[in-house]
Amino acid sequence: MKSVMTLTGLATRHLTSSRVRVDAETQSFWVAKENACLTQDNLRLRSELQDLEASTHMWIRLYEAALARANAAVAECSRLQQPAQ
């Protein structure tokens, strides 16, 4: 059976019950193809990691700003509840 190329570029071979001898050239082709796919996946994952790290830092800054506003509001409420002198 022929090999199938998926949309993500990963090559898979149909497994059969009989043992098929693969020559060195064919094996080298499959190893090179797998390495190319792994390199592409690695680059994609590194890019996604950078996006996630940037998003994480943004959410942390938003949380810290919201916490500062909440703490300021609590302090103002406490100040207003104190009796005037």
Q: What are phi and psi of 58, to 5 degrees?
A: -65, -45
This prediction has a pTM of: 0.54
Q: What is residue 68's predicted lDDT score, i.e. its pLDDT?
A: 98
Number of compact structural domains in the chain: 1
Minimal CA–CA distance to 33: which of 3, 76, 2, 78? Answer: 3
pLDDT at 54 over 80: yes
In whole angstroms, give the CA distance from residue 34 to residue 52: 26
Matching residue, tokens 């994480």: 56
pLDDT at 46 over 70: yes
Matching residue, tokens 């950078």: 50
Domain span at residue 67 reads: 4-11+20-81
Q: What is residue 2's predicted lDDT score, i.e. its pLDDT?
A: 46
pLDDT in tens, 56-74: 999 999 999 999 999 999 9
In whole angstroms, give the CA distance from residue 61 to residue 20: 58
pLDDT in tens, 12-39: 555 555 567 779 999 999 999 999 999 9
